[in-house]
Amino acid sequence: MTFSIKVNGSQHSVDVDGDTPLLWVLRDNLGLTGTKYGCDAGLCGACTIHLGGVVTRSCGVAVQDAGDREIVTIEALGGSHPLQDAWVEKDVSQCGYCQAGQIMTAAALVANGAKPTDAEIDAAMTNICRCGTYNRIRAAIKRASGQV
Ligand code: FES
Ligand code: FES
């Protein structure tokens, strides 16, 4: 079946089964491989996107349920988002696998000039990092939001 979805400001038609997770539509049909596959169970956050402005784990949303909500992926940040600059400055990444998802979760947290507290960061940043970069992630979010 053909579905029309809006991704990073552009409309796309994809011919897939309706129960195909957005994660695979993004990666396999649209070539947006910045969104990663981790647990496939909504737990790790490697597949995090924004769906209708809400932080969403794309492994758990079928394409047929996306409707006309705008999908935003890590590619939309363009490499020069303040978070990405802060990530480099704070040398956050180790293996890097989780980091696109981390940044997408953080992007919602610092949107519209928000300056999240440590408690707000801890509450929002539920993505898992096997390399344990959590302290540097917090520092980079503080940096990107102009708090340090
Ligand atoms: S792959 Fe989606 S939450 Fe882990
Ligand atoms: S940097 Fe390796 S899993 Fe997070």
Q: Is the CB of 128 under 6 A from ligand 2?
A: no
Report the chain's mean pLDDT, rounded to a whole number. 97
Ligand 1: nearest atom to the Cα of 36: 1
Total-model pTM:
0.97
pLDDT per position as a tens digit, 87-128: 999 999 999 999 999 999 999 999 999 999 999 999 999 999
Q: What is the pLDDT of residue 148?
A: 87
Choose among 30, 31, 49, 47: nearest CA to 39: 47
Q: Is the CB of 47 under 6 A from ligand 1?
A: yes
